[in-house]
Structure 1
Amino acid sequence: MIRVALGLLCILMTAWPTTARADALDTLIRDVMAAEAVPGAAVAIVRKGQAPDLRSYGVRDLAAAAPVDARTRFGIASLTKAFTAVVAAQAVDRGLLGWDDKVSKILPDFAVADACVTAEVTLRDLLAHRTGTVRGDLLWFNHPGVRDHALIAAMRGLPQQDGFRSGFSYSNLMYTAAGTMVSSATGRSWQASVREDVLRPLGMADTLVGAAALAGQANVAGMHAFDGNSVRSFTLDHPYDNTQPAGGLYASARDMARWLAFWIAEGQAPDGTRLVSPEAFSEIITTQTVIRERGPLESFQYDAKADHGYAFGWFTGSYRGHRVLTHLGGGDGVAAMIAWMPDAGVGVAVMMNREGSLGRLAIRNAVLDSALGVKDEDRDRFAGLLASWQAHQQKTADDARKTHAPRPLSAAQLKAWPGDYHSAAFGTIAIRRQGGELTARLGDGAPIRLRPWGAERLQLLLENPAFSWPEPALIQFREVEGVAGLVFSASGQSGEYKRAAS
């Protein structure tokens, strides 16, 4: 069980006197890590005109215990999206793309279920998360070997969950499509554009593109997640690496400081060279989609009465009356956060090797408050948010152990459930019998063991324990549109599959 010293955490999260800021921030970071059992973290703080403040804590991996340093690479997940926005802007500056170019003009194999959306969707729509399609992570999750144009072609079954351009509909798939548009327009891969046109001129030599680039690298943070009892280390036999423009970069604190400096300098490299034009830079950071939903995380990140939204690769909003651009990244055992304030000339990036951390928000706010000179600000609400989330995790895990204890499948279930199940949006799930157990093969992935979860559901025993707690990945067998089928759910998303005729 993760235990939290909430009183101490709350005291540490008040603003500190100027002479004690560095030490107080250091203490805050360590206590946030202890509160969430984060094995290792790295923080980069950039203030305009000053040398970067780089901090590192803990170990890269519980299994090896090597220390984190300023050059340890962490997966930054969705923080990658701003890199995709920059290479798209560079293509626009060169006249190879337009923000309002139709996707189908550049990618003839692009389609979604709604023909009208297919015909009208633009690069701007992809980057601003306003296509209205379902998020669709099950598609790329189920097909780890399908990428690039093949993955684009597989999107044609994605239905709408909201009206086209009517609101915010976050999608890793649409950012992957944006990266593929850049590749088609420039004649070279998205990966090459990022390496040559962003990482190299900014001196981001530590940053790696794609999971395959990690091979042979020693200074890399491992993956950790809560398994229902404690935080543990894990590895993936088959990394989910087919949506790289949405989340495929691995970066160090040193490099993230250089990335923040680029934004604070309004698109300029350290030598003064512009990587994007002033017009394109302005377009990237302009709010494109207003977000009307506001939950506890949004309330902690933005002012209560101010609008927030999404630009290109950045969430936008107001914090303490100042414009802030920010993004969270997470998944596969990591948690990251980046934020910067244009008028204050300050930015912060936090990377942790523990999935689902809320502490990165506490660190963000502490750094921004320090830069703004805010004092005596009570952070009880973060301590409450953290306590509520951890209590939810623990209760769900405890309840699951009581009500869904492992049991053998019945002979009737072992006979009735095996078969192939198909979804127009997400592909095929193959259920197979192996002795007294069942396995599920999601698309072209490897077979995954299943275990009973209640009377009519099976839990997928995935490598990443985050898919087990607090909301497990499940298959439920039931009718779908009048025929035998199943529903697969994971990470708050679900898809219906019909059983194929035998």
Structure 2
Amino acid sequence: MSLRHLSPRLAGCCVLFVFAAGAAAQAPAERSLPPPVSTRDIVQPMLPAQLQDFGAYVDSARKTFDVPGIAVAIVKDGQVVMERGFGLREIGKPEPVDAHTLFAIASNTKAFTAAALQQLAEQGKLKMDDRVIDHLPWFRMSDPYVTHEMRIRDLLAHRSGLSLGAGDLLYWPPTSYTTKEVVERLRNVPIKNGFRSGYAYDNILFAVATLVIEQASGQSYADYVREHIFQPVGMDESLIDKTYLKPGMDVAVGHAKANFKDLEPVPPMAWLNDPGAGGIYASVHDLAKWMNVQLAGGVLPSRGADGKPVRLFSADSQQQMWSMLTPITIGKPPIPELAPLVPHFYGYGESWFLSDYRNQRLVWHTGGWPGMVSRVTLVPELHLGVVVLTNAESGAAFNAVTYRVLDAYLNTAQKTVAPLTDWVIVYDKAVKQGEARADDSLAKHEAARDKSSKPSLPLAQYAGTYRDPWYGDVIIGYENGKLRLRFSKTAQLIGTMTPWQHDSFVVRWDDRALNADAFVDFTLDMDGHIREMRMQPMSPLTDFSFDFQDLRLVPVAAGKPGTGED
């Protein structure tokens, strides 16, 4: 799920530069400008002079990156300066986005998970440096040393040795596994890097964190977060996951580009088996409150009966959450115009990215969901926060809007009158360059293809059940002269396989909004029997959570149960 300079969604793994995703720069359909600011929106007079054209700027981002609706909140010095919606909740329908429209905030949920664990540590129910096996004795990684040494703090820091997005197919797209079953299957997810040796974004360890919270608190994750975070902060509109949505609610509909081209609504998704990684739905109205509590060092706006401030968490807990645990290598920007965004330092704390911009420390995170991406950014020394929620898969849009706000406030703080960079133009160039590289990658595959070749076996002989140690069963059926591939636990992963060359095929998923078509390659033994099946995404724009490349699928012998519950 996840920001990808890698892919469109930025599910949370966002690195500093997120362009590619189906954040396509195809010419968007013409849409009317958003309605006037409603009574459900707030725009205070203290908005900097350089943001007086902010509405027009956000509309420029919406049009350029083909985003139906965007919601923005800005807080400064404990006050809400702006909370406003722009555009539409769903294309083709009149309902506008406003400050109270709910969006899936995806990996921005991770900061709530970290806060919950820190609260439990303050209550003496756990220590952040406890071994995970002290709380979940059955917990296992594929390496005994990592199993023994994995601490609760490690679950939040992307330094476990797992590769990027490892195990995501256990819950993305939604699967029928429970959270406990997901975590039990970690014992077979390969560890490809050194423990605590470097950064690789994961979601699966937040499923472990979810279970730790439940074990320590005696409550479900949803009940704990609702009672101990949402209610004290005053986040009355926020929900733990899609299952709490009801008809008639003010909710944005996600949009994705089928085949990376045509924007269309996508059905809402519930992440029931890893809620601590990305389940929350929230509005900018509520997230403005969350940012103010963060910027106040955990202090809530309410006071106790003795008149003293009440804390959501201690200053020490916040210091831990905002301290770098995992350094991240700083790369070169894909285009020169993005050079001003290259930080001096970059890393990850407990569920927060940490970097700097124009000599100011930033504490931030992103989120990626089917059809929705978002960014929360805090500038602690300026007591400034900005959140941008969108209902399309364009990291370029939320970055362009975020940096417009940061520039305006930094110019004010630094007493400069430099003209503002039009980050919409800059990111548009970066997106188009990324798409061109993706097209070139596919073109190279096509050029290398031997179109005269044929599969070694009759198509029907590729049919069967194939089993991976951590995912379970993938089933290929021979139906009406075609091969149909199905992931046994993932309803959305059903598609048709067609020959590519030799014993390689392409699977094109029935759900074209997934943008995750993949190569399927078979290895035969010396007697012509299938020994192994491997997969990998066709396009570099495919979300990294489709970690097909980590599957090691082998044929299941006839008569052996093919439930995937090995």
Establish whether TM, by shorter chain, passes 0.5: yes
* SS of aligned partner of 1:338: strand
* SS of aligned partner of 1:46: strand
Q: Which residue of 1 aligns with 2:12?
A: none
Aligned residues: CA RMSD: 3.1
| Letter of the 2:506 counterpart | L
- Write the distance in 1 (CA, Å) between the matches of 2:479 and 2:231: 50
Matches within 5 A, 1:145-224: 145-224=176-255
Structure 1 residues 380-405: Cα deviation after superposition (integer angstroms, max 9, x where no partner): 7763443242354378579979969x
Change (3 A) 1:183 1:302: farther
- Write the distance in 1 (CA, Å) between the matches of 2:290 and 2:174: 32
TM value normalised by structure 2? 0.79
Deviation at 1:3, TM superposition (A): 3.3
Q: Which residue of 1 aligns with 2:432?
A: 390
- Write the distance in 2 (CA, Å) between the matches of 1:249 and 1:177: 17
Deviation at 1:291, TM superposition (A): 0.8
| Letter of the 2:318 counterpart | F
Gaps of 5+ in 1: 5-16
Change (3 A) 1:411 1:305: closer
Q: Which residue of 2 aligns with 1:282?
A: 319
| Letter of the 1:276 counterpart | F
Deviation at 1:111, TM superposition (A): 1.1
Q: Which residue of 1 aligns with 2:373?
A: 335
- The answer to whether the aligner puts 1:273 opposite 2:310 as a matched pair is yes
**Which is richer in helix?**
1
- Write the distance in 2 (CA, Å) between the matches of 1:278 and 1:258: 17
Deviation at 1:459, TM superposition (A): 2.5
Deviation at 1:438, TM superposition (A): 2.8
Q: Which residue of 2 aligns with 1:10?
A: none
Deviation at 1:441, TM superposition (A): 2.3
- Write the distance in 2 (CA, Å) between the matches of 1:217 and 1:123: 40
Deviation at 1:241, TM superposition (A): 3.7
Q: Which residue of 1 aligns with 2:561?
A: none
- Write the distance in 2 (CA, Å) between the matches of 1:119 and 1:174: 15
Q: Which residue of 1 aligns with 2:359?
A: 321
TM value normalised by structure 1? 0.88
Q: Which residue of 2 aligns with 1:12?
A: none
- The answer to whether the aligner puts 1:250 opposite 2:281 as a matched pair is yes
Q: Find 2:533's aligned residue among 481, 486, 492.
A: 486
- Write the distance in 1 (CA, Å) between the matches of 2:313 and 2:555: 50
Q: Find 1:3's aligned residue among 23, 27, 38.
A: 27
Deviation at 1:108, TM superposition (A): 1.9
Q: Find 1:56's aligned residue among 85, 91, 115.
A: 85
Instruction: Check conservation: 2:58, 2:401, Cα contact below 8 A.
Output: yes
Instruction: Check conservation: 2:346, 2:354, Cα contact below 8 A.
Output: yes
- Write the distance in 2 (CA, Å) between the matches of 1:398 and 1:229: 16
- Write the distance in 1 (CA, Å) between the matches of 2:273 and 2:224: 17
Matches within 5 A, 1:285-304: 285-294=322-331, 296=333, 300=338, 304=342
Q: Find 1:463's aligned residue among 489, 507, 511.
A: 511
Instruction: Check conservation: 1:480, 1:486, Cα contact below 8 A.
Output: no
Deviation at 1:94, TM superposition (A): 0.3
Q: Find 1:73's aligned residue among 87, 90, 102.
A: 102
Deviation at 1:203, TM superposition (A): 0.9
| Letter of the 1:386 counterpart | D
Instruction: Check conservation: 1:330, 1:356, Cα contact below 8 A.
Output: no
- Write the distance in 2 (CA, Å) between the matches of 1:240 and 1:144: 9
Q: Which residue of 2 aligns with 1:8?
A: none
- Total equivalences in the alignment: 483
- Write the distance in 2 (CA, Å) between the matches of 1:162 and 1:480: 29
Farther off after superposition, 299-308 or 213-222: 299-308
- The answer to whether the aligner puts 1:454 opposite 2:506 as a matched pair is no
| Letter of the 2:294 counterpart | W
Deviation at 1:82, TM superposition (A): 0.3
Gaps of 5+ in 2: 1-24, 29-45, 303-308, 448-453, 538-542, 559-566
| Letter of the 2:253 counterpart | G
Identity %: 27
- The answer to whether the aligner puts 1:364 opposite 2:402 as a matched pair is yes
- Write the distance in 1 (CA, Å) between the matches of 2:187 and 2:174: 15
* SS of aligned partner of 2:137: coil
Deviation at 1:154, TM superposition (A): 1.4
Matches within 5 A, 1:218-237: 218-227=249-258, 228-235=260-267
Structure 1 residues 88-147: Cα deviation after superposition (integer angstroms, max 9, x where no partner): 110000011111111111112211111110111011111111111133212323771112
- Write the distance in 1 (CA, Å) between the matches of 2:512 and 2:320: 37
Farther off after superposition, 215-224 or 72-81: 215-224
* SS of aligned partner of 1:196: helix
Structure 1 residues 257-310: Cα deviation after superposition (integer angstroms, max 9, x where no partner): 111111111112211310111211111111111112435389959854612100
Change (3 A) 1:397 1:26: same
Q: Find 2:474's aligned residue among 423, 429, 442.
A: 429
- Write the distance in 1 (CA, Å) between the matches of 2:499 and 2:58: 38
- Write the distance in 2 (CA, Å) between the matches of 1:43 and 1:297: 27
